[in-house]
Structure 1
Amino acid sequence: MAVIVWIVEGTWPACVDAARTHAPEGAGIVLLHVTGHEIPGAAHGAYAGLLGRGHPERDPGTRLEQLASVSAAQLLQQAADRLGRRCTRVERTGRIEREVVAAADGADLLILARDGDRSHLGPKSLGPAGRFVVDHAPCPVLLVWPETAPGLAGLPSPPSHR
């Protein structure tokens, strides 16, 4: 069984705990972190457009890419430590939601956490990236709450039939 665990800042502990609970012993677990390319790309573009191309060593986009890679490696290490089982750590860069879907190709299970408004039950508890992944995942998805799920009091009233 191949299990992909999407590791995101702030919600990763719940995903790792779900993998520990639901992935059978011996499952191939992949901890996946995806870094978006938008911020370093904007920094590269701003530097090139405003300051020229004469000193590529001063390009702030390169430094942002390096910092993102170090941060991803640290986060993946923390997740692996919490998992406490053998796993593979994968770092990808690009359009986050598309990279997650691509990484899940051929997997038996994808575990992710809600990334939207988690104060209420309902569709808004998924942000744009999470919604895209849930809608396009090529495998079964285990969607977890990063903290205790809100109560049923927030459930909308049923429609009245006339």
Structure 2
Amino acid sequence: MTVIAWIVEGTWAACVDAARTHAPEDTDIVLLHVTGSDVPGAAHGAYAGLLGRARPERDPGTEVENLAAAAGEHLLGAAAERLGRPCTRIERRGRIEREVVAAVEGADLLILARDGDRTHLGPRSLGPASRFIVDHAPCPILLIWPEETPSTETIPPPPHHPHHR
């Protein structure tokens, strides 16, 4: 059995705890982190568009890529330490939601945490990338609340239709 825990800043600890709790001891656990390509790409584009291409060694996009990769490796290291058992660490780069979906092909379970509005129950508790992943993942998903689950009192009332009585 292969369980993949998606490691994201702000919610990674809850995903690791869920993997430790729900995955049997003989499970292959994979800690997956994806560094998005949007910020380094924007830095590359800004430099090329505003400052020209005369000095590529001064392109800030390369430094942003390196910093993002180092941050991802640090996060994976902290997650592996918290897990406290053997695991595989995978760092990918690209469009986050598509990289996660591609990485979980063939997995038995994906663990991810809600990353939107976590003060209310409902669909807004998922951010855009998580919503895409939930809708497209080719494996079962364990979707967790990274903090205490909100009360059912937070469910919005049904819409009122004035023509109905």
TM norm structure 2? 0.94
Tell me which amino acid in the other structure corresponds to 2:49. G
Aligned to 1:112: 112
Q: Which secondary structure does the structure 1 equivalent of 2:4 belong to?
A: strand
Separation in structure 2 between the aligned mates of residue 70 and residue 113 of structure 1, nearest angstrom: 22
Displacement, 1:157? 3.8
- 1:148 aligned partner, one-letter code: E
The Cα of 1:53 is off from its aligned counterpart by 1.4
Q: Distance in 2 between matches of 1:88 and 1:56?
A: 35
* Whole-angstrom CA distance in 1 between matches of 2:9 and 2:156: 30
Identity across the alignment (%): 73
Measure the CA separation in 2 of the matches of 1:47 and 1:156: 46
Aligned pairs for 1:13-28 within 5 A: 13-28=13-28
* Normalised TM-score (structure 1): 0.96
Range with bigger deviation, 106-115 or 152-161: 152-161
Match of 2:81 in 1: 81
Structure-2 residue corresponding to 1:62:
62
The answer as to 2:92 corresponding to 1:92 is yes
Following superposition, the deviation at residue 152 of structure 1 comes to: 1.2
2:127 aligned residue: 127
Deviations 1:113-150 (A, max 9, x none): 00110000011101111110001010000000010011
Distance in 2 of aligned mates of 1:19 and 1:63: 33
RMSD of Structure 2 on Structure 1 (CA): 1.3
Gaps of 5+ in 1: none
Structure 1's 30 and 52: CA in aligned 2 closer, same or farther, altered over 3 A? Answer: same
